Amino acid sequence: MAATTELNFFQVKKGLFSWIFSVDHKRVGLLYLYSIMAFFLVGVILGVLMRLELLNPGKDLMEAKTYNQVFTMHGVIMIFLFIIPSIPAVFGNFFLPIMLGTDDVAFPKLNLLSWWIYVVGALMALSTLLFGDGPADTGWTFYAPYSVRTGTNVTMSVLAAFVLGFANILTGLNFIVTIHRLRTPGMTFFKMPLFAWALYATSWIQLLATPIIGITLLMIVAERVLGVGLFDPSIGGDPILYQHLFWIYSHPAVYIMALPAFGIISELLPTFTHRTIFGYKAIAFSSLAIAFVGYFVWGHHMFTTGMSGAARIVFSIMTFLVAIPTAIKVFNWVATLYKGSIDVQPPLLYALGFIFQFMIGGLSGLVLGALASDVHLHDTYFVVGHFHYVMFGGTGFAFFGALHYWYPKIWGRMYNKTIANIAFVIFFIGFNTLYFPMLISGLMGMPRRYYDYLPEFHLPNMISTYGSWILATGLVLMLGNLIAGFFGPKPEIGRNYWGGITLEWQTLSPPPLQNFDKMPEIPKGGPYDFENNY
């Protein structure tokens, strides 16, 4: 334990190099935050451009090929540069060691290396804008054989995704070792906050599944560069094999994106209901169950590829099994709210928004997991609506909820809560106006990834585009409010702004370099024992 220090981690060292070469987990977390937010905004701009193009049938803004490239870049940026790293790399890095009562992650240098790898991978992805035929036009899934044949910069794009995978693996490895080896005395597994449990389950997926996508993407490169017949049927390959390999990773990756968000919600609800979380162990084990079962359901992305009927039935049944641990979480969250002393603050609004939208996303997922209905809805806007409800309405809202929750702890400052509430309402309305019509147009049969559409799909598309403007307004207001908090008067934040009882609320705001100025005390009744701590 380091000696008590007056300096917080911002004040210990100054200057650009003290940040980009820092091995302090808090600084690495913030480096990730700033980089991820920058790429997120690029992704948002691309998304708004897509919606503008789809405002009316026919050409509005760009050519068909450009549209294909825009939705591919939007997908690549949002998946690989925003959602996958978002919560673990930012809030996991910053808060996991503090929540466990230790002073850093197990491998601080690897942690910094992971950020550098992330930056290199991101620059590789963006470099596709600058040479040749421009960015890939394949969609973020890089489906073969088109990805083998197109003249756009697929090779660089998949190499970028390959490199970004290493950043994920290093983060996962770091978290697993940190959780196993660096918990403070008395912090048993069942006294860990549920955010730590969620990160633990996520890390195993990052560690075990990411290498599969790495090898698969290298196989695409081998096929493009060397003409090896792996996936292209014209040279003896099997395109369905590509989809197997791709989704063996990419479906578990959905849980890399979702599980940390579940962890965030499990932190927010007890703090703002002032009561012990309902079903702590059930939530903890359901994270592991989701991570495990999630490995065996990838085939539901491939029901219409021509794969065998037997496999389709097996994968459909397996998919329904994932709904069980997920529903366990949702029921426990709702039970936590029941008879709680609810304090409506901006982070709680995001948590409630998460539950509402994730329910829509999850239940529409069951429609797609059912073999019979998926055959009709596959590759329609219903799928686009579904995964935006899960990924953005779920993980995105949890990310912003976490940002509002830990803002006073990270920066020792506070945003305007009234504006935060207004921004949330606009954001929430914009989100649902944008994505709910997609579920309807999908049910009507509108195919995804099409540049143009029939007149009968005009109304839902028009409403979606208006929704994108409302969403963007809410986002600008929310981020503007958070940024304004840095420059406004500095209020007295104290150690425990929201009244939480996990360990990060026992230290200073912002925390000192060694995280704690005094030995943290572990609540005897577990991390959410509000009954005995208030």
Partner 1 sequence: MKNNTESHDESAHGTHITSNKEHYSTLAALLLLTVLTVSISVFGANLRSLTVATAMLIATVKVIVVAYYFMHLKFEKKIYTWLVLLVIVLFLSFLILTSIEYLNR
Give residues in contact with partner 1 (CB under 8 A): 1, 101-104, 180-185, 208, 212, 240-241, 244, 248, 295-296, 299, 306-311, 314-315, 516, 519
300 CB-side CA count, 13 A: 28
Choice between 311 and 425, CB closer to partner 1? 311
Quick one: tokens of 242? 């590509």
For 197-209, letters b (16+ CB in 10 Å) and e give: bbbbbbbbbbbeb
Quick one: tokens of 338? 């029941």
Choice between 284 and 349, CB closer to partner 1? 284
Cis peptide preceding 347, ω within 30 of 0: no
CB 73 within 8 A of CB 140: no
Q: What minimum distance in Å lies between the beta carbon of 518 and partner 1? A: 11
Cα–Cα distance, 83 to 87 (Å, whole number): 8
The four Cα atoms 354, 100, 80, 475 give a dihedral, to 10 degrees, of 40
Crossing angle of helices 397-411/458-487, nearest 10°? 10
Q: What minimum distance in Å lies between the beta carbon of 508 and partner 1? A: 16
Q: What minimum distance in Å lies between the beta carbon of 203 and partner 1? A: 13
Q: What minimum distance in Å lies between the beta carbon of 447 and partner 1? A: 25
Q: What minimum distance in Å lies between the beta carbon of 293 and partner 1? A: 11
Quick one: tokens of 415? 């945003």
Q: What minimum distance in Å lies between the beta carbon of 94 and partner 1? A: 17
Quick one: tokens of 350? 């995001």
DSSP assignment letter at 88: I
Choice between 67 and 315, CB closer to partner 1? 315
Crossing angle of helices 417-444/397-411, nearest 10°? 160
Choice between 310 and 372, CB closer to partner 1? 310
Choice between 199 and 471, CB closer to partner 1? 199
**What amino acid occupies position 439?**
L
Q: What minimum distance in Å lies between the beta carbon of 1 and partner 1? A: 5
Choice between 7 and 311, CB closer to partner 1? 311
Choice between 20 and 208, CB closer to partner 1? 208
- Phi/psi at 8 (5° precision): -85, 175
